[in-house]
Structure 1
Amino acid sequence: MLWADFIWQCPNCKKMHSEGFANEDDPYTCSGCQRKFLLTFSVDVEEIEAYNKQTDRVSEVRLTKIGISHDQGKTWGEIEVDTKDLNPETSPLKAGDWIKAPGDGSTFEIWLNEKQSKLNSRRVYALAGGHRNATE
């Protein structure tokens, strides 16, 4: 199985690595200690069932634990969110929130795409002097 945007840590020297695409069947070499590893791929999620009263259907929802800041990174908390819920009315994430991705801790800003009426994210880069630059 092929995974996209995979982050892994070398079990030997603890160096963090990121792969644009990663395959479960390929060995990966640590650039720190030069050792090769076969990786086990998993996502840290909690599965729950959600019942929709209007359609009388039960669906599976996967919650992912992420870091969240409502004040542009000054303070951080942790929440579990359904990452597939991009509806601004139902998602606990709001435009202007910052989130930290599990794994490498990359920071993203949530913004509202008004044309599609859905939430999107863009990576946040810290700049000197406390300013920031966000890219989609």
Structure 2
Amino acid sequence: RERKAESVIERERKAESVIDKERKAESVIDKERKAESVIDKERKAESVIDKERKAESVIDKERKAESVIDKERHAESVIEKERKAESVIEKERKAESVVEKERKAESVIDKERKAESVIDKERKAESVIEREKGRECHRERERQRVS
């Protein structure tokens, strides 16, 4: 009995060790995801800066190309382009917001899956404990019957 009890305790220790290792692996995965997210945001920021530089370059070239007589038309064109650039920037912001919400939703889904996995493991562990209790009761009844 003691050996069996020690065996059960050892199995429980091993199960706890596996769970600890899974938690550590999940932590590493989370850190990798966060690092990837930071890298993605940096890439997007660089892309926005490049677009701003290109927009500034286009505006400078247009200013140089226009004559003094065209200054009024040029000003209207620049205003229209700024509105369009603001619209593009706003659309980019909305797209980034959607991407971020999707990431958060995926993170929540992952956490729910992990929680379900932990709950399943707990149920299995409880089942093992209940079976062991049943066996111990059966053994005790058998001992009482024999004596």
TM-score, L = length of structure 1:
0.19
Q: Rg: which structure is higher?
A: 2
- Identify which of structures 1 and 2 has the higher relative contact order when contacts are C-alpha pairs closer than 8 Å and 6+ apart: 1
Answer 1 or 2: which has greater strand percent. 1
Answer 1 or 2: which has greater helix percent. 2
